[in-house]
Structure 1
Amino acid sequence: MESKQPAPRWATKIAVLLREDLATWQRLNVTAFLASGIAATDPEVIGQPYADGDGTGYLPMFRQPVLVLTGPGDLLSRARTRALERGLAIAVFTADLFSTGADEDNRAAVRAVPGADLDLVGLAVHGPRAAVDKAFKGARMHP
């Protein structure tokens, strides 16, 4: 089905930044977890439920695209700092979370490390386009 309306230019941006050395399964897992943080905290980014031609209902999704970017580990640390300086809420995923087994353990692993020392493998933000662009400056589109 083709839409005759041009795609909207969103005033905000949802972006996920992944460390470039992750295995494929890790990239997918981290992206899913980080996107859930954005969805859980900002109901306005979620659209209406879907339905197919038979009337079967499906869950709603983001109303706007999610950009998935990649870069080296030091870029993730700089992006975290820049996002905080711009007042953006951040979802984080650290390398430690690959070895935890429960939500409580995940939060404890992050809480155990000062922010500047987190071994970041992924970040997600949602906010004004310019602020997100500046926070993630230097990242490139995920292949």
Structure 2
Amino acid sequence: MTVRFDTKIAIVLRDDLEPWQRLNVTAFLASGVAAAYPQLIGEAYADADGTSYLAMFGQPVLVLEGDRDLLRAAHERCLRRELPVAVFTADLFRTGNDDDNRAAVVSVRRHELDLVGLGIHGPRNAVDKIVKGARMHP
């Protein structure tokens, strides 16, 4: 049975990132979506032996990619639609903690952010329009 969700979770990565950067950015942005929308987290897991495992998102997470211009456009679409968005900028690769991460973002004007990733959750159709032009991550 295929379940169709009313909402969509999308991570959009800039297509020129190194493999380790793609993984790092995806993890950070997914944590931002999870923190903002705890209702997206399903029940905890357990194996047949009764070993417990952490709960995860209860719906799929799409990982997409696009160029710098696509990320800028998607960011602006999120803001126009007043849809909360998690951002990861290139400056965050040079920091090592949450305080420095926030300081790096707050020091740059919105239109000058060097975006390398976005984390988005919202109504399915709205997210589809926001990420228009992005392609599935290989």
Q: Distance in 1 between matches of 2:63 and 2:101?
A: 22
Q: Give the match for residue 82 of structure 2.
A: 87
Q: Give the match for residue 8 of structure 2.
A: 13
TM superposition score normalised by structure 2: 0.99
Q: Distance in 1 between matches of 2:131 and 2:111?
A: 16
Q: Does 1:41 align with 2:36?
A: yes
Quick one: which amino acid aligns to residue 135 of structure 2?
Answer: R
**Residue segments in structure 2 that go unaligned for 5+ positions in a row:** none
Q: Distance in 2 between matches of 1:117 and 1:136?
A: 20
**Residue segments in structure 1 that go unaligned for 5+ positions in a row:** 1-5
Quick one: which amino acid aligns to residue 115 of structure 1?
Answer: R
Q: Does 1:64 align with 2:59?
A: yes
Deviation at 1:16, TM superposition (A): 0.3
**Corresponding residue SS for 1:96:** helix
Q: Distance in 1 between matches of 2:44 and 2:50?
A: 12
Deviation at 1:26, TM superposition (A): 0.3
Deviation at 1:46, TM superposition (A): 0.3
Q: How many residues align?
A: 138
Q: Give the match for residue 116 of structure 2.
A: 121
